[in-house]
Structure formats: C-alpha cells, structure tokens
C-alpha cells in the first residue's frame, strides 16, 4: 500500500491501521496458502506418480 495519508479518503468511523493490518494478513495467508498447495502438488508428483 502507499504511504500517503490522505484524510479525505478515510472517514471517522474507519480505522486505517486495522484495515492495513487486515490487508497484510490477507496477503500473508494467500502467500502461504499458495506455497502449501504447491508443496502438496510436488508431494503428489514425487510419491504418487512414480
């Protein structure tokens, strides 16, 4: 995300740090999920398809 802090984009009821934390968590889970799926596919390739 950009480091710009533009107050007109964020309302009073929106919590910017919480939003950014949620976004970073989403990216992290997505990355580790893709790595997990790739490892499962490699496992299947090595051990199932001899």
Rounded percentage of the chain residues whose pLDDT exceeds 90: 60
Give the per-residue pLDDT at 40.
97
pTM: 0.67
Q: Residue 20 contacts by C-beta under 8 Å, 6 or more apart in sequence?
A: 1
CA dist list (Å): 10 to 13, 18, 20, 34, 36 = 8, 12, 12, 32, 35
Distance CA 5, CA 11 (A): 12
């Amino acid at each position: 995300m950009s480091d710009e802090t533009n107050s007109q984009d964020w309302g009073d009821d929106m919590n910017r740090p919480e939003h950014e934390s949620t976004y970073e968590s989403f990216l992290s889970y997505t990355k580790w999920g893709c790595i997990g799926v790739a490892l499962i596919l490699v496992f299947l390739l090595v051990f199932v398809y001899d």
